[in-house]
Structure formats: structure tokens, C-alpha cells
Structure 1
């Protein structure tokens, strides 16, 4: 993914008119719109799944969109 993002995915998004911006660089109106959009459209269809040594690999249905996220704790450097 480290190669795909800058060389393939991000340029295609920019060509289609999408720009990634830091949350801190958004105006109050943009933040309000994104919050409302997330609460109305995104949050209702999220299904969080846990995958770690104490949980088996989750069942992922075919033809569904899935996103895996690894979180790094900025305080202790732990990976979650």
C-alpha cells in the first residue's frame, strides 16, 4: 500500500476532483458538513470487527467493501 497510494490511488482521486485535506485545515462549515455526512451516511453501515491474538479472523462476506486499519498509539508506540 505504501507504493500504491502515492503512485496510483491518490493521483486518480485527484484527477477525479478529490483532494485529501487535514482536518485541521477545514473550515467550520466543512467540518460541520463532514460530521453530518458521517453520522447520516457512513456510521449506520459500519460494522467494526476485531482481529487480534485473542479473536479469530472474522468472517468477511464476498462482494463487500472492507477496510483494515492498524492504529499506532502515539504515547507508548503500541500497535492496535
Structure 2
């Protein structure tokens, strides 16, 4: 929940030296480094899954890392939800 993020996770990340910044606030060099890092280290291990009425909510494995995402269709403005494992 938002409270867990605000009161627990975010402060611990900051204590560990992790700074959260908006993408628009990054310099060109920082954006290039981040893009390269994502493509090399993160993208290869992602498993995106979308759920909707025809695809029910998937089973989440115990102790696995998952991220729920809200996706906006740039063409029609439709809202979709997904999970990244």
C-alpha cells in the first residue's frame, strides 16, 4: 500500500543510498546510462503478464518479486492492468 511505501520501503531505500528521481529530471547522460542498464540487466529477466476478463488474475508464486502496473493506451486512453514478474 501507499503507507507501506511511504513509511517503510522508501526510507529504507534512501538510507541505503538509493535516490528516486523523475525521468524528466535526469540529464541526457543519466538517461542513456539508465536505458543501457535496463536493456542489459532488467529487460531480459522480466515476464510481463496482462490480466483482463479473458485472462484472470495469475497465480503469484510464494516469495517471488512482482510489480503491478497500470497501463494507459496512448491511442484510445483505455486502462489496462498488468503484472511484471
Q: TM-score, normalization: structure 1?
A: 0.82
User: Which structure shows the bigger proportion of residues in strand conformation?
Assistant: 2
Gaps of 5+ in 2: 81-85
- How far apart are residue 51 of structure 1 and its match? 1.2
Q: Deviations over 1:14-50 (max 9, x none)?
A: 0000111011111111101000000001111111111
Backbone CA RMSD of aligned residues:
2.1
Q: TM-score, normalization: structure 2?
A: 0.77
CA–CA distance in 1 between the matches of 2:36 and 2:74?
A: 28
- Paired residues in the alignment total 80
Q: 1:53 to 1:65 in 2, by over 3 A?
A: same
